[in-house]
Amino acid sequence: MNVANTSYPVNRTENVPDHSLVPPCQDACPLHMDIREYVGLVSQGRIMEALQVIRTGNPFPSICAYVCTHPCEDACRRSQVDKPIAIRSLKRFAVEFGGDRMVQAEAETTHAEKVAIVGSGPAGLACAYYLKKFGYPVTVLEAHSELGGMLRVGIPQYRLPREVLDIEVKRLTRMGVEIRTDTRVVSLDLLFELGYKAIFITIGAHQSLRMGIEGEESPGVIDGATFLREVNLGLKPSLGRKVAVVGGGNVAIDAARTAIRLGVKKVSILYRRTRAEMPADPAEIEQALEEGIDIRYLVTPTKVKRENKRLNVTCIKMKLGKPDESGRQRPVPVKGSKFSEQIDTLIAAIGQAPQTPDDFGVRIGKGSTIQVDPNTLTTNRAGVFAGGDAVTGPATVTEALAAGRLAALRIVDYLQHRYPLPVKEAKEKLSGDLLPETIEMIKKIERAEPPSLASEVRARDFEPIELVYSWEQAINEARRCLRCGVGVEILFQDKCATCLTCLRVCPYHVPHLDASGAICIPADQCQACGICVAECPAKAIVLRKPFDRRQVNDELSHAIKSAAELKNKPLIIGFCCQYGLFGTGTLADLWRGAGAGVSIVPVLCVAKVEASHILSAFETGAEGVFIAGCGEQCARENTTYWVQQRVAKVRKVLGSIGLEPERLQVFALGTTTEDPVEELDKFVEQIGSLRLASVIKGEVKS
């Protein structure tokens, strides 16, 4: 026999580049994180690798895992089917189970140009992290006694535990970032004189906006940012028994929930519009309501008067009028609806603005923000960059991190006298909604919310309220991902015989004929199940990602290589789905529990195992082959059916060359009542006896 010389056909897919599209989640993320990739890794139980992907795209994933406002989830197309993937909770799971706290960041200083970062909020810390990684000496200057900016003084501890922030700060220190707290910068010239070659201003937006009503200066009226800062820095302001918070943003909600945790009996939020217009995160609003906070809509205070050590607040009811420039309906006072109320403290949280010292000499624009070039973050002064809330006005942590990263890249360009190259999007974006006929066929799987503390427990103190998924919960949640943009394409139009097989086998009705009679597989509808790839008689269809195209072959040859050392034992090859149940540990159990001589080829859904793969497994000397899928639990449609079709085809071949068809088995381990390990043991035993029989037969013949 001469297998070694066999000339296999040239694999035309080998040098085809990555044709996957940028999914909506990634596009929506200010940091442009590869969300689809890490959610996919979580669904396979590959948590360390998921964390690696997360860390590549995010300097402080643990912080984001707590406080990100997850624009990715808002963009998630799964919401067209049922509910979006719980991306932030999955990230939280990955950083906790992957051990993000233990990750060591190292950096060497390879350049001499010093960079000063004014402000240590998320933008400043991110900029410091990346500049240090690029080898620049960095100094972070912070006016307060502790680092973190809004992360420390703005966000309440129940949303972001301080040890998470401390770990990140420690990591930066270990990387060699110089940190100077209690240092308020008043002049940039001084910094340049001290030898800093570039400065990044990221002083945040800490100055609360005034309500502009009578009596605003009275004792007992405090602004939201100041209140949160005091509490977060360890003070315990006395608030009395009854507190009202004015505003509808996240700061208002944070202030109200902080107040209730300080023991205030009655906390209400006064908001001049309705819940639909409230800019705060809906989940936070929900949690605030659960904690007993009273939100009063269409109400605004008009006058505050201090009487008998209490506040007499006059309010007026509002109604929604015509839309204003922000597109929201403008609230209009209802005549004669004034009413008064006695409270102890009024917290005004109606917005914040940056406060930049005049001596910085940077140009200030609308809303007291620093004016910069949005692509380079340069200000009007040479070598001075700015970013974060100081430039955008109050925004999110993730946006600030993105600004910090951009600043680091641009500062490096500046220091190396390079013209900043425009960031070119290498990949096409996936756009378009799912079609109704596709949505109808997608299995509805409920979104699993991570556990959280009960509302009555959590309102007592500042313990973090959101808990982490269990292993199985996280994996099942991650499996819901539709894998937008990594579907299939007809790579070889010249090979396509327009046989319509893809159109007929697709469970989601995605392929269709265009007016000229050519088959189209729209990328925005494909669910990447891979059935058509295996069924295409012309082999014209491939998965868009090179990794996905090679996966089964690569894993198979790996399994064969590692099994090569086993001798005198029935070699069994099992194609096992790595998603779902197998990711939750069943696969690992199989691995450990399997008798000697069983090699497992992990595949990303058994629907991608082609008849040829099964034959190849036998060809390498396997005495038995099994395919184990998730059965009913598979997140995709019809996968078991197609596996059975291919198995039937291979069994026919086995029969005609004198091998028993029982050597090939299918297990739907997701549904079986039997213990998978036991079932597998039975199969191993059976193969052992078949092999013995064939050896005897062979000897009798000779």
Partner 1 sequence: MIVAEQKPLEDIIRMIVPYERVLILGCGTCMTVCDAGGEREVSFLHNALQLAQARSGEGAHTFSEHTVKRQCDPEFLEALGEKTADVDVILSLGCGIGVQAIAEYLPDMPVLPGVNTSFMGMTKESGVWDERCAACGECRLEDTGGICPITRCTKGILNGPCAGVKNGKCEANKDMDCAWILIYQRLERLQQLDKMRRYYPPRNFRAIPRPRRIMSKAETVTGESNG
Residues of this chain that interact with partner 1 (CB under 8 A) are: 1-3, 5-9, 494-495, 497, 499-501, 504-505, 536-539, 610-612, 615-616, 618-619, 621, 645, 649, 653, 656-659
The encoded tokens of residue 289 equal 């309501």
- Output the DSSP codes for 265-330: SEEEEEESS-GGG--S-HHHHHHHHHTTPEEEESEEEEEEEEETTEEEEEEEEEEEEEE-TTSSEE
Cα–Cα separations (whole angstroms), residue 396 to 281, 302, 485:
11, 30, 27
Are the beta carbons of 637 and 443 closer than 8 angstroms? yes
Based on CB atoms, which residue is closest to partner 1, 391 or 491?
491
Based on CB atoms, which residue is closest to partner 1, 131 or 502?
502
Based on CB atoms, which residue is closest to partner 1, 505 or 543?
505
Based on CB atoms, which residue is closest to partner 1, 69 or 616?
616
**What φ, ψ does residue 544 adopt, rounded to 5°?**
-70, -25
Least CB distance from residue 420 to partner 1, whole Å? 48
Least CB distance from residue 624 to partner 1, whole Å? 13
Based on CB atoms, which residue is closest to partner 1, 8 or 419?
8
Comparing CA positions, the residue from 514, 683, 484 lying closest to residue 590 is: 683
Could you give the CA distance from residue 232 to residue 255 in angstroms, rounded to a whole number?
Answer: 11
Based on CB atoms, which residue is closest to partner 1, 364 or 538?
538
Helix (H, G, I), strand (E, B) or coil at 207: strand
Least CB distance from residue 2 to partner 1, whole Å? 5
Are the beta carbons of 482 and 635 closer than 8 angstroms? no
Are the beta carbons of 379 and 363 closer than 8 angstroms? yes
Region label for 162, one of left (φ > 0), alpha (ψ between -120 and 50) or beta (otherwise): alpha
Least CB distance from residue 659 to partner 1, whole Å? 7
Helix (H, G, I), strand (E, B) or coil at 622: coil
Region label for 152, one of left (φ > 0), alpha (ψ between -120 and 50) or beta (otherwise): alpha
Are the beta carbons of 267 and 297 closer than 8 angstroms? no
Instruction: Produce one character per residue of 207-232: b if its CB has 16 or more CB atoms within 10 Å, e if not.
Output: bbbebebebeeeebbbbbbbbbbebb
Least CB distance from residue 515 to partner 1, whole Å? 21
Based on CB atoms, which residue is closest to partner 1, 9 or 336?
9
Task: Give the β-pairing of 384-386 and 196-201.
Answer: parallel
Least CB distance from residue 494 to partner 1, whole Å? 8
Least CB distance from residue 694 to partner 1, whole Å? 9
Least CB distance from residue 533 to partner 1, whole Å? 10
Least CB distance from residue 614 to partner 1, whole Å? 9
The encoded tokens of residue 460 equal 């007592």
Least CB distance from residue 630 to partner 1, whole Å? 24
Could you give the CA distance from residue 696 to residue 16 in angstroms, rounded to a whole number?
Answer: 48
Comparing CA positions, the residue from 261, 201, 202 lying closest to residue 228 is: 261
Based on CB atoms, which residue is closest to partner 1, 110 or 656?
656
Based on CB atoms, which residue is closest to partner 1, 47 or 532?
532
Residue 131 amino acid letter:
L
Helix (H, G, I), strand (E, B) or coil at 457: helix
Based on CB atoms, which residue is closest to partner 1, 16 or 105?
16
Could you give the CA distance from residue 230 to residue 220 in angstroms, rounded to a whole number?
Answer: 14
Could you give the CA distance from residue 517 to residue 496 in angstroms, rounded to a whole number?
Answer: 12
Based on CB atoms, which residue is closest to partner 1, 234 or 658?
658
Based on CB atoms, which residue is closest to partner 1, 469 or 642?
642
Could you give the CA distance from residue 614 to residue 643 in angstroms, rounded to a whole number?
Answer: 11
Least CB distance from residue 599 to partner 1, whole Å? 17
Least CB distance from residue 597 to partner 1, whole Å? 18
Handedness of CA 235, 238, 242, 243 (dihedral sign): negative
Least CB distance from residue 607 to partner 1, whole Å? 15
Cα pseudo-dihedral 365, 369, 370, 375, rounded to 10:
-90
The encoded tokens of residue 551 equal 């996966």
Based on CB atoms, which residue is closest to partner 1, 501 or 584?
501
Could you give the CA distance from residue 527 to residue 563 in angstroms, rounded to a whole number?
Answer: 34
